[in-house]
Chains A and B, each alone.
Chain A
Amino acid sequence: DIVMTQSPDSLAVSLGERATITCKSSQSVLYTSNNKNYLAWYQQKPGQPPNLLIFWASTRESGVPDRFSGSGSGTDFTLTISSLQAEDVAVYYCQQYYSTPPTFGQGTKVEIK
């Protein structure tokens, strides 16, 4: 199984400031035949199911605000919230879908400083 490791486990950011979460996979999730990274990001607010934010490492799901962006390739990925809003308080998970079983990171909790 591919192991996904996120850092940090939690972070506190002031409103309007940037939040950055990293995700590292134990092996590359870049499929060379189509040059796509099989990496997704989810947001989970308290008491709610996960919500898909980004797939292909950098493609925003429809309706996701553009303050959320994803980057990276191979084994190292980043989710950035450019200007943190109160409604962004949540736990964020990365997931690889390069191989089965699909695996998730341990989550990063984002709070307001």
Chain B
Amino acid sequence: QITLKESGPTLVKPTQTLTLTCTFSGFSLTTTGVGVGWIRQPPGKALEWLALIYWNDDKRYSPSLKSRLTIIKDTSKNQVVLTMTDVHPEDTATYYCAHRGHSDGLPYWFFDLWGRGTLITVSS
């Protein structure tokens, strides 16, 4: 059974760096094709994809946020960490990590399992 759980601070001040951790179980980020992504959702708004890391340590970022994001993995701890620098009040959102979906044994860019999310508020 695959599970993912996000953790991080609930409150961050503007201009600070936000660090979020996704701890997962039920799969390995060393298995070919596996990927874990981060998606956020401002209160009452739509979903926005942020970043994804592959089993081979390849990384993809949202073009609009690329300069502020870093994603890394720690396979020994089954964790994926996302850092966002210079946060603004507009970064207030629920942040989700999610497992990249597969079809016929191949990975694709939909997300079949999600964590419950963590609400991050950016405010002074």
State whether A52 touches B110 (Cβ < 8 A).
yes
Q: Tell whether A49 pairs with B114 under 8 Å between CB atoms, given A55-B108, A102-B109, A104-B49.
A: yes
B47 at the interface (CB under 8 A from A): yes
Nearest Cβ on chain B to A56's Cβ, whole angstroms: 7
A75 at the interface (CB under 8 A from B): no
Q: Which A residues are CB-close (under 8 A) to B109?
A: 38, 97, 100, 102
Q: Which A residues are CB-close (under 8 A) to B60?
A: 100-101
Q: Which residue of B lies closest to A36 (CB)?
A: B103
State whether B46 touches A102 (Cβ < 8 A).
no
Q: Tell whether A106 pairs with B46 under 8 Å between CB atoms, given A49-B115, A50-B114.
A: yes
A84 at the interface (CB under 8 A from B): no
Residues of B81-116 contacting chain A, CB below 8 A: 96, 98, 101, 103, 108-116
Residues of B49-69 contacting chain A, CB below 8 A: 49, 60, 62-63
Q: How many residues of A contact B (CB 8 A)?
A: 24
Q: Which residue of A lies closest to B111 (CB)?
A: A52
Q: Which A residues are CB-close (under 8 A) to B47?
A: 42, 50, 93, 95, 104, 107
What 9 A-B pairs are tightest by C-beta distance, nearest first? A97-B109, A49-B114, A40-B110, A104-B47, A106-B46, A102-B109, A102-B49, A52-B112, A97-B110
Can you list 28 A-B pairs with a CB-CB distance of less than 8 A? A38-B108, A38-B109, A40-B101, A40-B110, A42-B47, A48-B116, A49-B98, A49-B115, A49-B116, A50-B96, A50-B114, A51-B114, A52-B101, A52-B111, A52-B113, A55-B108, A55-B110, A56-B103, A59-B103, A95-B110, A97-B108, A101-B49, A102-B109, A103-B49, A104-B46, A104-B48, A104-B49, A107-B47
